[in-house]
Amino acid sequence: MAVPGSSARFLEKAQTLESDQFFLDLEDSVAPLAKPGARPGVVEALNQGSWGNRIRVVRINDVSTEWAYRDVVTVVEGAGANLDCIMLPKVQSAAQVAWLDLLLTQIEKAVGLAVGRIGIEAQIEDAQGLANVYAIAAASRRLETIIFGPADFMASINMRSLVVGDQPPGYEADAYHHVLMSILVAARANGLQAIDGPYGRVKDDEGYRRAAQRSAALGFDGKWVLHPNQLPIANEVYAPTQADYDEAELIIEAYDFHTSEAGGRMGAVMLGDTMIDEAARKMALVVVAQGRAAGMTRTTKFERPEGAVRA
Ligand code: GLV
Ligand code: MG
């Protein structure tokens, strides 16, 4: 859930929503003249707010601005113990991530926080960032997440559309496929999460759903929500369907059984009309983990084949 760091009303509302993470924004949702004044509000919201076990993140201004270093210093000195990650927008190079990593280490040492606990989320938002995404994703042990920023990215490449995160009219294929896949591969190659960015038409639920389904199908872990209406859609789209979750649990159980002594030590077997093997099990483990994380429960049970010996 994205929350403008300068708005007390939004800060309060965000504490009532069931998102996995929220971020308090000091960047593009805060006007330049309001930026210095927004920092104390963010510190207070982190220290006083009831954020439950959601991941607590602050988006600072990008490294090319005069605000970036003081954003980090004020927020981490004032509320570092109540902060999980800093989001760094418009990342263009590995060196920019390294800058944030070093600055965080200096502040953590100065104020007595555990060194290295605060993570980094990097936003890929322009052509240069995308061109360097593999180096960026490997730039720091603090990195937890790579995020796609469609609005800035669309502007950066002159994409012909004014709707943030939607397909540009006139192009029949998915205009974001290369971008999303590059971010996803860079993230996974480094054991990081991949998160899709905002969809601008906050009252267009179907538009949000379409955009979310594309990145969810590729394997993204989630997507920003700009409005509470988008939250249930995201929670639904990024969780597996009940049928997929049930099937994945069955695959794990069936594979465990068939590879066992009692099941005949088989490496590849049929489950219904599908062949399952070690790779199929790995795919199923992903879906099982997502389903369990979403609190899903099974509606089917694995039946041992007739005549199987009990182990
Ligand atoms: C988000 O920061 C975006 O630019 O889409
Ligand atoms: Mg942006």
**Cα–Cα distances in angstroms (integers) from residue 289 to residues 95, 164, 221, 222, 294, in the given order:** 34, 31, 12, 14, 9
Same domain flag for 185 and 274: no
Same domain flag for 252 and 231: no
In the chain, which stretches have pLDDT less than 50? Answer: 311
**Residue at a domain's end among 192, 210, 237:** 237
CA 220 to ligand 2 centroid distance, Å = 18
Which residues does 33 contact at the CB level (< 8 Å), separation at least 6?
none
Q: What is the residue with the minimal CA distance to atom 3 of ligand 1?
A: 149
Residue 193 lies in a domain: yes
CA 161 to ligand 2 centroid distance, Å = 15
d(CA 162, CA 111) in angstroms, rounded, equals 44
d(CA 100, CA 20) in angstroms, rounded, equals 24
Whether 101 lines ligand 1, by a CB cut-off of 6 Å, is no
Which residues does 191 contact at the CB level (< 8 Å), separation at least 6?
none
d(CA 234, CA 212) in angstroms, rounded, equals 7
Whether 197 lines ligand 1, by a CB cut-off of 6 Å, is yes
Whole-number pLDDT of residue 311: 47
Whole-number pLDDT of residue 136: 99
Which residues does 210 contact at the CB level (< 8 Å), separation at least 6?
none
CA 40 to ligand 1 centroid distance, Å = 23
Residue 207 lies in a domain: yes
Same domain flag for 106 and 152: yes
Q: What residues make up the domain containing 273?
A: 242-293
Same domain flag for 232 and 270: no
- Partners of 143 in the beta sheet? 120
Same domain flag for 124 and 256: no
169: left (phi over 0), alpha (psi -120 to 50) or beta: beta
Atom of ligand 1 nearest to the CA of 198: 5
* Helix or strand run (H / E) with residue 243: helix 242-259
Same domain flag for 171 and 33: yes
CA 123 to ligand 1 centroid distance, Å = 8
Whole-number pLDDT of residue 204: 97
Whether 151 lines ligand 1, by a CB cut-off of 6 Å, is yes
Q: In the chain, how many domains are there?
A: 2
Q: Is 218 exposed, middle or buried (0-12, 13-18, 19+ CB in 10 A)?
A: middle
Find the CATH number of the domain harbouring 12: 3.20.20.60
Q: Residue 76 gets which letter from DSSP?
A: H
> Cβ distance 222 to 23 under 8 Å?
no
Q: Residue 19 gets which letter from DSSP?
A: -
Whole-number pLDDT of residue 235: 95
Same domain flag for 184 and 268: no
CA 28 to ligand 2 centroid distance, Å = 7
Whether 55 lines ligand 1, by a CB cut-off of 6 Å, is no
Same domain flag for 185 and 254: no
Same domain flag for 138 and 260: no
Q: Which amino acid is at 97?
A: V
Tokens 């601005």 label which residue?
A: 65
Same domain flag for 10 and 126: yes
**Residue at a domain's end among 189, 207, 237:** 237
Report the candidate in 20, 86, 8, 88 with the shortest Cα–Cα distance to residue 49: 8
Report the candidate in 45, 130, 57 with the shortest Cα–Cα distance to residue 88: 57
pTM, to two decimals: 0.94
Whether 129 lines ligand 1, by a CB cut-off of 6 Å, is no
Residue 79 lies in a domain: yes
Atom of ligand 1 nearest to the CA of 125: 4
Same domain flag for 274 and 195: no
Same domain flag for 278 and 206: no
Residue 300 lies in a domain: no
